[in-house]
Amino acid sequence: MINKDDNSNAMRFITAYNTIDNALRSIYNFKRSMSYADMIRRAASLNYVVRKYEDKLVDYGRLRNAIVHSSYEDVIIAEPHKDVLEEFEKIANLLSTPPKALPSIASRDVKTLESNTPLATVYKLMYQNGYKNIPIYGNNALIGVANAGKLAEIVGRVLDAGDNLQEFVQETKIGDVLMEAVDDNYYVICSSKVTIEQVMELFNSNRKLLVVLITPNGVLTERPIGIITVGDVVDMNKILDLY
Whole-number pLDDT of residue 202 = 97
Give the pLDDT band of residue 1 (cuts 50, 70, 90). Answer: very low
What the chain holds in terms of domains, given with CATH numbers, is 9-97 (no CATH), 103-242 (3.10.580.10)
Give the chain's end-to-end CA distance (angstroms, integer). Answer: 32
CA angle 51, 54, 60 (to 5 degrees): 150
pLDDT of 4 > 60? The answer is: no
**pLDDT tens digits, residue range 41-52?**
999 999 999 999
Q: Which residues contact 223 (CB under 8 A, 6 or more apart)?
A: 110, 112, 135, 137, 215
pLDDT of 5 > 60? The answer is: no
Q: Which residues contact 11 (CB under 8 A, 6 or more apart)?
A: 2, 4, 5
Distance CA 220, CA 213 (A): 10
Whole-number pLDDT of residue 185 = 87
**pLDDT tens digits, residue range 167-220?**
999 999 999 999 876 667 899 999 999 999 999 999 999 999 999 999 999 999
Helix (H) or strand (E) holding 96: helix 82-96
Whole-number pLDDT of residue 39 = 98
Distances (CA, A) of 134 to 104, 116, 128, 149: 21, 14, 13, 12
Reduced to 3 states (helix: H, G, I; strand: E, B; else coil), residue 82 is helix
Largest pairwise CA distance in the chain: 85
pLDDT of 115 > 90? The answer is: yes
DSSP state at residue 228: E
Distance CA 232, CA 236 (A): 6
**In the predicted model, what is the mean pLDDT of residues 76-102?**
92
Distance CA 215, CA 189 (A): 7
Whole-number pLDDT of residue 69 = 73
Q: 86-90, 118-122, 177-181: lowest mean pLDDT where? A: 177-181
Whole-number pLDDT of residue 68 = 81
Whole-number pLDDT of residue 79 = 79
**pLDDT tens digits, residue range 50-81?**
999 999 999 999 999 888 876 555 566 677 99
Whole-number pLDDT of residue 109 = 86
Give the pLDDT band of residue 114 (cuts 50, 70, 90). Answer: very high
Give me the DSSP letters along 149-204.
HHHHHHHHHHHHHT--HHHHHHH-BHHHHHHH-S--TTEEEEETT-BHHHHHHHHH
Q: Which residues contact 227 (CB under 8 A, 6 or more apart)?
A: 106, 107, 110, 133, 135, 211, 212, 213, 214
Torsion angles phi and psi, residue 132, rounded to 5 = -110, -20
pLDDT of 3 > 70? The answer is: no
Average per-residue pLDDT for the chain: 92
Give residue 29's region: left, alpha or beta (phi > 0; psi -120 to 50).
left
Quote the distance between the C-alpha of residue 211 and its chain's center.
11
Spatial CA neighbour of 64 closest among 37, 39, 46: 37
Distance CA 89, CA 87 (A): 5
**pLDDT tens digits, residue range 140-177?**
999 999 999 999 988 898 999 999 999 999 999 999 99
